[in-house]
Structure 1
């Protein structure tokens, strides 16, 4: 199941980085696989959490990130992905993943908004993530996925 979890993280990260969107089928499939794993194969889970831990991780992710969604600071796909991620990781590791992914998102914002992006790679035509109505979107699902991999590597 760890390889399926890693594949789900990679596919979600690439879709969010490329299209600036986390598709519903990714979030729903991740949530379903997390609960199937927690119910039927708890020893095969990447972090071996209980069903109660999975529910608590979902509830924590939903309740906290829904506030950011209502204020327009986060997209609905990010919230849905975080709920699925909470089911996989539980609330303890989810807090570490949030902290690290917020650091990645802040660094992304600083680099894209400043002229530092041309220092890192002057030959690349940087896409600043401008979407409809000239709003900029940070690929937060990508940063959640990267932070998850880092936290799981350091947790072992």
Structure 2
């Protein structure tokens, strides 16, 4: 199941980097795989059902606040819930921290390139066109930061690093 987990993270990261959205079918597939891994005791990060469900609830619930504020897409929120099933409660905080640092670096680089006279084209090459927001409250707000992609990368790094340190 570790390879399925890593492939799922790769798909999430690639899709979010390229299209700035995370499709529901991909989140659902990952959540179902996580539940199967839990049922068979074959998860990449060993934890019990309680930790998985708490991780899913916390991941979804916390990021739901950011979605309500209009600064995060719904796909990021749903992905965080599915990711919580995979990593459990104890690994969720380090994954959030690593993913948020990566996303912050992306945002800073994007801002710098937007202000640099030559950078609008370079920014477009590096970051692509942002996906428009899908909620009705702010139809003109665009999503520039692929947060789910950075969470996916952080989760993969955490899994590999955690396996080597144990």
- Relative to the length of structure 2, the TM-score reads 0.84
> Who is 2:46 aligned against?
48
Question: Is the CA contact (8 Å cut-off) linking 1:128 and 1:136 kept in structure 2?
Answer: no
- Cα deviation digits, residues 56-115 of structure 1 (max 9, x gap): 111111221111110011100001001000000001101100000100111000001113
Q: Which residue of 1 aligns with 2:6?
A: 6
1:21 aligned partner: 21
Counterpart of 1:147 in structure 2 is 154
* Residue 126 (structure 1) shift: 3.6
Cα separation, 2, equivalents of 1:125 and 1:10: 21
Inter-CA distance 69–2: structure 2 relative to 1 (3 Å threshold): same
Superposition pairs for residues 88-99 of structure 1, below 5 Å? 88-99=86-97
CA distance in 1, matches of 2:141, 2:84: 31
The two structures have a TM-score, normalised by structure 1, of 0.89
Q: How far did 1:36 drift?
A: 1.6
Partner of 2:34: 34
Q: Structure 1 regions of 5+ residues with no counterpart? A: none
For residue 125 of structure 2, give the secondary structure of its aligned residue in structure 1.
coil
Extract unaligned runs of 5+ from structure 2. 133-139
Count of aligned pairs between the two proteins: 153
**Structure 1 runs of 4+ off > 2 angstroms?**
115-119, 122-137
**TM-align CA RMSD:** 2.2
